[in-house]
Amino acid sequence: MKRFKKVLTVLLAGVLTMSLWGCGSASKQTAEPAAEGKQDNAAESDKDLIVVGYAQVGAESDWRTANTKSFQTTFVEENGYKLIFDDAQQKQENQIKAIRNFIQQDVDYIVLAPVVETGWETVLGEAKEAGIPVILSDRMIDVSDDSLYTCWVGGNFIKEGEDAVAWLNDYLEKQGRGDEQINIVTLQGTIGSSAQVGRTKGVEDKMPEHKNWTMLDRQTGEFTQSKGQEVMESFLKSYDDIDVVIAENDNMAFGAIDAIKAAGKVPGKDIIIVSFDAVKAAFEAMIAGDMNVSVECNPLHGPELLKLFRNLKKENP
């Protein structure tokens, strides 16, 4: 499938910077690892299939497992693809290793959902040298040479942060609390990831418009429920007047909800819970009254990439 690869590299360069919807739902799938030692040429053993190596962040959240599932159910033999999946366990060094394995296996495409934005020049330079297009999924990277990746498919994280502030403002107004002093704490995602950088920025940019709002503290909960709970417990010990928790994903919000309940307070009432992702369990938490809002972020990137590949192939058979 090398001819398709070359055509796509040329066509996509500088053309596509897509933003998928805003922020949707859902468990770790059986994955085929790009393990060291598994150096058989995947493209050769599956001659008619397009081989995609996917360097995934990890399985830290419901959103992430939904995103993984979306790739694993889309890039299947019936659709003409073979997916080689790698779970980096939230470590950039694992993703770099996975990309080098994909290059050795001479895959047709590399899809990268980068853990953090920086530090990609060397390994993506190796992929470019090997003539393998790199498609970014979900998060962006910060590189001076845009030719190191072909296109990006992901969400607008800054807008999500701004939307969270707009919702909070409306909610407080409706509650008759528009002029009250409002104390906020933030559970941030993985520091340096686009989702953290963008959501934090979207909120911070809008904070000055609300003079009666104070950001008491911000700390990373690494996008996981357990760390979100741990950080929220420490916030509750440090501050007895928290009005709002902004959790930069649903799983950290679930951890915060548990911490708030354990501290004898009522989440959703005593402390307003603002979150991101809108996974199924977040809707359940909102119905139960534990969570107040979750700004949607759609994890279903697989079909979008499939459409993209197919359209280009149709135009350039």
Contacts of 10 (CB under 8 A, 6+ apart): none
- Work out how close the CB of 233 gets to ligand AHR at its nearest, in angstroms, rounded to a whole number: 20
Give yes or no for residue 63 binding ligand AHR (CB under 6 A): yes
- x/- binding map, residues 19-58, to ligand AHR, per CB under 6 A? ----------------------------------------
- Interface with ligand AHR in residues 296-315 (CB under 6 A): 297
Nearer to ligand AHR, 61 or 92 (CB): 61
Interface with ligand AHR (CB under 6 A), residue from 65, 101, 188, 249: 249
- Interface with ligand AHR in residues 121-150 (CB under 6 A): 138-139
- Work out how close the CB of 65 gets to ligand AHR at its nearest, in angstroms, rounded to a whole number: 9
- Work out how close the CB of 238 gets to ligand AHR at its nearest, in angstroms, rounded to a whole number: 25
Nearer to ligand AHR, 98 or 116 (CB): 116
- Work out how close the CB of 316 gets to ligand AHR at its nearest, in angstroms, rounded to a whole number: 31
Nearer to ligand AHR, 29 or 79 (CB): 29
- Tell me the window of 9-17, 59-67, 92-100, 238-246 that interacts with ligand AHR (CB under 6 A): 59-67
- x/- binding map, residues 80-99, to ligand AHR, per CB under 6 A? --------------------
- Footprint on this chain of ligand AHR (rule: CB under 6 A): 60-61, 63-64, 138-139, 195, 223, 249, 276-277, 297
